Structure 1
Amino acid sequence: MDDLELLINGMKYSGWTSLGVTRAVDAATTAFTATLTERWEGGENQSSQIEPWPILPGDTCEVRLAGFRMVVGYVDIFKPSFSANDHSINIQGRDKVADLVDCSAVHSPDEWKNIDLLRFAKALAAPFGVTVSADVDVGAPFPVCKLQQGETAFKAIERYARQRKVLLMPDGAGGLLITRAGVRRAVTSLIQGENILDASGTIDHSQRFSSYLVKGQAAYSPDSTGETEAHIEGGVSDSGIKRYRPMLLVAETGGTASSLKDRATWEANSRIGKSAAASITVQGWRQSPGGDLWEPGMLVYVRSSWLRMDGMMLIRQVTYERGEDGTTSKLEIVSPQAFDPEPPDGKDAKKGKKGSRNIWAEAIPEEDRIK
């Protein structure tokens, strides 16, 4: 059976009674929680645990799930508890990228010129001992990258990542990965009546808007007028929202009309895609016995009449769990539109049977719908 391996300060601990590891394509860190009875009986060739384990917040840790490395980071929380009949501990932690999320970006100088996203991210991550890599093209260099007072290192990197329409997620080895969703496809489909244990869905248009306009200022150029530099904008619309619901955003960074339209596209697609979400639980951590793990960022075909879903969806988050209900994976599913770098297709809402609106298809790009 696949198991959790937890190493604290290089020492392996086992005997866990319940555990959970959560990874998401749009979350900077991978988090874990594990609980066990501290005085547990040893198995074959193992002695019983007698002395309290020397684990404290700040200790280095590594978490492996089914042999795959998931977390290289630190213990955040250590919670011992006991009663007359029970003595247990709970450990919670995150990977190294958590320091980028928690800590302010303190750097001198606080401004870089003609630097691309990867080099900028490496400069901010280096003091924390966090490596940065990319498996996609990070785009052209920015004319200027400047820190905002008080922002975290991750927020600074994320501001510029949005301009290049890329995602930031842990690489499993304690580093930060610049990537895009939907590069890989799951080999196993999610089918109601076959491998879906339980599921629920949500359609929520409260955070969608009819138009998205991003305004900003461009960096100085001797070839343009001050008026032009001070007033640039870019926008897109969402035809799925019929009534007047505008959203105006101020660009986090300077740029061009084209880059501001890209920023508006990212905002629109994110909200369209996440308006159609589902939570699906399957047995085990792997797609098939001995196969690959379910992983965030994968495209997966989902067919469920009860969810009214039939098409390619995107795994946004995976929570690997083991407890009283056995070994399961909870998959948080959204439309691929949530992380699509292209503008919304602007087509009218699709019609379902008997003229009803197909609320899932509205959030699924045309090329990912099942014909």
Structure 2
Amino acid sequence: MNLLDNASEFLGYGQAQSNAASIVVNGLIISGWTRVEIHAGVEIMPWEAQLETTNHQPDRSDLAIAAGDECQVLIGKTRILTGYIQTITSELSTSNHLLRIIVKSRSVDLVECSAEFSTYQMNNTTALGIIQQVCKPFGISVSAEGSEGRTAIQQFSVILTETAYEVIERVCRLAACIFHDMPDGSILLASVGSNHHASGLVQGQNVEHATSLDTMDGRYSSIQAIIQNPAVLFTPPEDGDKHAQQMLAQTAPVQASATDPAVKRHRPMLIPVETGDADYAVAKKRVQWEAARRYGRSQIVQATVDSWCDSRGTLWSPNWLVHCEIPAMKIMRSLLISEVVLVQDEQGTHATITLMPPATFTPEPIVLPLAQNEGVAAITRG
């Protein structure tokens, strides 16, 4: 029995167009899906694909694939996802047979499994080195864009109960970089994207539907870094003067503040300075980061377009910039792609793209672990 022929008959192999999705699994190329939905994004891990087909011969059971099989998802000849068949759902009725396959990228194991190390205390290494070590048991390679991930980390401790993903997320905060899946199943450490798509999202051309968000949720008129001193008890607890019994925490602002001029009301936010922050260098970055991130997440644009690709045939890609021209919503600027959902079904081929200002994704500045040591902090401050 030729399994490839059976799969071809079962799922319509050979009917795929240049932009159709297919799965490569166990030496088979399976296409002809009636519905395809692929999720990819900067803040999505793992990437995921869901593929469905219906069959009018519900007694067919010779498709030799199983949950856990390694596979690739292709769009035409372009690989979009490498991972595993996570779930197979089969629904049977008197007239129809629905087959649904969910594929997740290799990073699903990083998200769901505990991190494993020969030692849970690492010294004199780099962010890239730690992440490569945490991914090695899962057979996942890690690369860095430019100098990203080269940050020297003199001391790093892994918490026993952490998942591999949680370790990576914490390390990337130290390295001030972002990380995301790649189509080949690897992980990339990167900066906020600077690549531009060849064409944009243009009202009256390729935009079929769009929504925009402009909210004051989570935004503040001023963000100020402060030092908090120990509380002082001014009178003994037995004293009858309740006002004098209050423990008053003394706080003092430092030269690190940011404002959001669009917030007209008095809405302050205070951020404590971390131990070991010499000259408040991290605090100055942190308040700016807070203002930019909160602004960015209040300005979300989501557009559905009529193609999976830009004018050069490049798939709409997370962490890429795209110029948006939607005059009806007063949107005329370049935004960063946060998430892409590619859908192909009986209603056609569409991509729903979520975009935000690039500064939204800049990692939060924090003090490196060794700098948090009080002795080191004292020496650093002179």
Q: How big is the shift at 1:137?
A: 1.3
Q: In structure 2, what is the equivalent of residue 56 of structure 1? A: 66
Q: How big is the shift at 1:318?
A: 1.0
Q: How big is the shift at 1:71?
A: 1.2
Residue 208 of structure 2 aligns with an amino acid whose one-letter code is: L
Q: How big is the shift at 1:119?
A: 0.6
Encode CA deviations 1:317-364: one digit per residue, 9 max, x unaligned.
111110122011111111122124799xxxxxxxxxxxxxxxxxxxxx
Q: How big is the shift at 1:151?
A: 1.7
Does the residue aligned with 1:197 lie in a helix, a strand or coil?
strand
Encode CA deviations 1:201-241: one digit per residue, 9 max, x unaligned.
1122212333265999xxxxxxxxxxxxxxxx995424243
Encode CA deviations 1:37-67: one digit per residue, 9 max, x unaligned.
1457xxxxxxx99434233321211101132
Q: TM-score, normalised to structure 2's length?
A: 0.76
Higher alpha-carbon deviation: 237-246 or 58-67: 237-246
Cα RMSD after superposing both structures: 3.0
Q: In structure 2, what is the equivalent of residue 355 of structure 1? A: none
Residue 310 of structure 1 aligns with an amino acid whose one-letter code is: M
Does the residue aligned with 1:127 lie in a helix, a strand or coil?
helix
- C-alpha separation between the residues in 2 aligned to 1:156 and 1:266? 22
- C-alpha separation between the residues in 2 aligned to 1:175 and 1:310? 34
Q: 1:84 to 1:301 in 2, by over 3 A?
A: same
- 1:137 matched to 2:147: yes
Q: In structure 1, what is the equivalent of residue 84 of structure 2? A: 74
- C-alpha separation between the residues in 2 aligned to 1:80 and 1:249? 54
Larger Rg: 2
Does the residue aligned with 1:237 lie in a helix, a strand or coil?
strand
Q: In structure 2, what is the equivalent of residue 100 of structure 1? A: 110
Q: How big is the shift at 1:265?
A: 4.3
Q: How big is the shift at 1:29?
A: 2.1
Q: In structure 2, what is the equivalent of residue 364 of structure 1? A: none
Q: In structure 2, what is the equivalent of residue 269 of structure 1? A: 292
Q: In structure 2, what is the equivalent of residue 187 of structure 1? A: 198
Instruction: Please list, as runs of the form range in 1=range in 2, the aligned pairs for 1:14-29 lying within 5 A after superposition.
Output: 14-29=31-46
Q: Once the two structures are aligned, what percentage of the paired residues are identical?
A: 26
Q: In structure 2, what is the equivalent of residue 166 of structure 1? A: 177
Q: In structure 2, what is the equivalent of residue 211 of structure 1? A: 223
Match of 1:156 among 160, 164, 167: 167
Match of 1:302 among 324, 331, 345: 324
- C-alpha separation between the residues in 1 aligned to 2:305 and 2:106? 29
- 1:122 matched to 2:132: yes
Contact 1:211 1:236 in 2 (8 A): yes
Give unpaired runs (5+ residues) of structure 2.
1-16, 229-253, 366-382
Higher alpha-carbon deviation: 80-89 or 261-270: 261-270
Q: How big is the shift at 1:112?
A: 1.0
- C-alpha separation between the residues in 2 aligned to 1:167 and 1:149? 23
Match of 2:210 among 196, 199, 207: 199
- C-alpha separation between the residues in 2 aligned to 1:157 and 1:237? 29
Contact 1:39 1:87 in 2 (8 A): yes
Match of 2:96 among 83, 86, 95: 86
Equivalences, count: 320
Q: How big is the shift at 1:249?
A: 7.1
Q: TM-score, normalised to structure 1's length?
A: 0.78
Residue 41 of structure 2 aligns with an amino acid whose one-letter code is: A
Encode CA deviations 1:67-86: one digit per residue, 9 max, x unaligned.
21111111111111011111
Does the residue aligned with 1:123 lie in a helix, a strand or coil?
helix
